[in-house]
Amino acid sequence: MKITLRTDVLTNNNKAAEFNRELFQNTKTLVINLMSSPGAGKTTLLEETVRELSGKYRIAVIEGDLATERDADRIRAMGAKAVQINTHGGCHLDARMVAATLTEFDLDEIDLLFIENVGNLVCPSGYDLGQHHKVAVLSVPEGNDKIPKYPQMFMRTELVLLNKIDLLPYLDFSVEEARKDLTEINPESILFSLSARTQEGMHEWFSWIEGAYLQCVQQ
């Protein structure tokens, strides 16, 4: 019965994901599903991304949290449209939740749509939201054990952003070990080292977004 229930849940989710994907493709809206544990710095990363790219792209954000609109308010303060989804205890967003927010956007007027998923290294990676890309954010204070301990997250993401590298001099973290662990789990994934706070390494992330957007509009 448990297997049947999970199959039904994922089947319904995948149908909604296909609905979302078709909308995104028709409007040439690049959608990035951003995932991490709580406190890894997703919202700060998005603030700086909006600051850097809003002059060139029309940007919107879907914020996923258990409660409050604090992260959505931070994005709105940067001048980007943000819609909050509160899961009230749910550990991830699903495609139906995302689909329910899309009436609040004019996708024809959005180039980049970021989905900041609920902070969790387990559940979010297993749900297709209809996005073009899944990106994981890992932060230096979390330590070197997260990639091997949570392999499903890193197996399903094509890009890992190692955030808070400004803290490397103060913490016992090896960037090379993180790269090695990621390569062993997912040889196709790449890792960018950056600090959203100091801007170090952020150019790689911005360039990756621009390349992904170009690919999106050419499809």
Domain CATH for 25: 3.40.50.300
How many domains is the chain partitioned into structurally?
A: 1
Q: Is the pLDDT of residue 82 over 90?
A: yes
State which residues form the domain around 110: 2-218
Token pair belonging to 156: 């399903």
User: Mean pLDDT across the stretch 157-182?
Assistant: 98
Spell out the alpha helix ranges (H) of 1-41: 2-27
Give per-residue pLDDT as tens, 142-164.
Answer: 999 999 999 999 999 999 999 99
pLDDT at res. 8: 62
Give the contacts of 54 (CB within 8 A, at least 6 positions apart).
78, 79, 80
Q: What are the CA-CA distances from residue 212 to residues 18, 67, 157, 219 (Å)?
A: 20, 31, 14, 11
Q: What is the pTM of this model?
A: 0.95
21-66 pLDDT, tens digit each = 999 999 999 999 999 999 999 999 999 999 999 999 999 999 999 9
